Amino acid sequence: MTPRDLARSYLRYFSRRADGAHDIADNAPSALWRFAFATKDNIDRASLYLALQTLANGDDPPTPSTGAALKWFAARAEALGCFDEIMRSKKPPTSFAELVERAYRAAQQDAVGRVREFLKQQLAAD
């Protein structure tokens, strides 16, 4: 089994509520629950679902509209640090929309990397 196969397997345990949020099923493996909720810097369910979907499909995380990315960041305390880091980069963004897009992409790539490491640990443990 590969990390891609395991990501596909874990996607079965997600359902989508009427408001568009993703929930993890009660019968999900305990390792997935621990990773999602019991780690000191846990990943929110939307980012976890998106990261698993990205790894299962072998794609890059999708780029949302500026409004959707702003709504996503409004609910997260780490957003300001991410914006600050991007503004201090060698090539800062030239528009607010670019800043939001780059910050969202960086946050999603971080989530994908953390989920990838989690999947590799799960495969090594089996």
Say which amino acid occupies 39: T
Reported pTM:
0.82
Domain boundaries, the chain: 3-125
Provide the strand spans (E) within the chain: 14-16, 22-24
- What is the pLDDT at residue 40? 62
Q: Give the Cα separation of 104 and 59 in Å (integer).
A: 16
What confidence tier does 18 reach under pLDDT thresholds 50, 70, 90? confident
Burial of 97 by CB count in 10 Å (0-12 exposed, 13-18 middle, 19+ buried)? middle
Q: In Å, how far are 28, 32, 47, 55 from 118, measured between CA atoms?
A: 15, 9, 14, 12
- pLDDT tens digits for 81-116? 788 888 888 998 999 888 888 888 888 888 899 999
- pLDDT tens digits for 35-70? 888 766 667 788 888 899 999 998 877 777 778 788
- What is the pLDDT at residue 55? 93
